Amino acid sequence: MTSTQLRIKAKLCWRPCLHQVPGQLLSKTTPQPVRCELSPIVELNVGGEMYITTLSTLKKHPGSKLAEMFTGQPKLRTDSEGRYFIDRPGTYFKYILEYLRSNQVPTQCVQDVYKEALYYDIEPLIKQLEDSPQIFGELVARKQFLARVPSYNENIELMIRIARAEAVASRQSSVMVCVVRTEEDVAKCHEALNSLDTDKKSVVKFGPWKATPSISDLLDCIKMDVEAKGYNVSIQPHVAEKGFRFKSYDFFYKFVFTWW
């Protein structure tokens, strides 16, 4: 059977059937819609990547969004060749299919496959990926820590806005960051901040927090999350001016954004 025949067979179709009124002889035929079953072989276009698989594979986990797509009348558009189209990254769909076929949990592109597993709502795969070191470390360790750092995400966005505002006609721009781990350091940082020869409003403050990670751990997190947004950034200790009462590395760090 050709691929064209397979695609035609995979579509829902309509055919006339005989309609008989009780107590009467068989009358002339009246067209009635009768739904045909989907072909067991399904062709897919996932974000431009082509796949051929079975209907049973796609419906392996009945509660998933992927299974729902192919339950009853397919809820998907088709491309010009009649393949069912899913508007998702096709590169990672092969890992989804491999899991559905053989229960093999991917060890490559774990973060991206995890996003796709969430989209397709494949609960067993989601749980197994969350037990992997990459996802466990991100969800349970790092994000749980950052949740205890007040206004962390808002401060990341503030840093980026300040850096962009300072980038006019320059290759680099810098943002001063004040990091305080304990409540006791907050007052010291405030006093030190008053001694800085800089615009106080342009200093972004992180902390305090109640968790074991150190200041260097938080700095790594800040750098990681800024770079995840596509920026090239480095960290430098703030150089204190002569007569400055506090060691610069106690509280202040300079994040340097390089634009070209």
Both 105 and 48 in one domain: the answer is yes
In a domain, 159, yes or no: yes
In a domain, 5, yes or no: no
CA 97 to the chain's CA centroid: 19
Both 197 and 103 in one domain: the answer is no
Both 198 and 109 in one domain: the answer is no
147-160 burial, b if ≥16 CB within 10 A, otherwise e?
A: eebeebeebbeebb
Both 188 and 114 in one domain: the answer is no
pTM to 2 decimal places: 0.68
pLDDT digits (tens, 9 = 90+) for 216-232: 999 999 999 999 999 99
Q: How far apart are CA 114 and CA 116, in angstroms?
A: 5
Kindly state the average pLDDT of the residues 111-134: 95
The most confident of 136-140, 193-197, 249-253, by mean pLDDT: 136-140
pLDDT digits (tens, 9 = 90+) for 130-163: 999 989 999 889 999 999 999 999 999 999 999 9
CATH of the domain at 67: 3.30.710.10
User: Is omega for the bond preceding 208 within 30 degrees of 0, making it cis?
Assistant: yes
The confidence band for 197, taking pLDDT boundaries of 50, 70 and 90, is low
Give the residue from 99, 131, 163 where a domain finishes.
131
The confidence band for 198, taking pLDDT boundaries of 50, 70 and 90, is low
Q: How far apart are CA 104 and CA 110, in angstroms?
A: 13
Give the residue from 97, 131, 165 where a domain finishes.
131
The confidence band for 21, taking pLDDT boundaries of 50, 70 and 90, is very low
Domain that holds residue 197: 150-258
Beta pairing partners, 203: 176
Total number of domains constituting the chain: 2
Q: Measuring CA to CA, how many Å separate 92 from each of 7, 15, 85?
A: 24, 38, 15
Give the residue from 104, 131, 158 where a domain finishes.
131
Q: Which ranges constitute the DSSP H helices of the chain?
A: 3-10, 55-58, 65-69, 93-102, 110-120, 123-130, 133-136, 143-146, 152-165, 183-194, 215-227, 248-251
In a domain, 18, yes or no: no
Both 161 and 229 in one domain: the answer is yes
Reply yes or no on whether the pLDDT at 129 is more than 80: yes
In a domain, 24, yes or no: no
The confidence band for 4, taking pLDDT boundaries of 50, 70 and 90, is very low
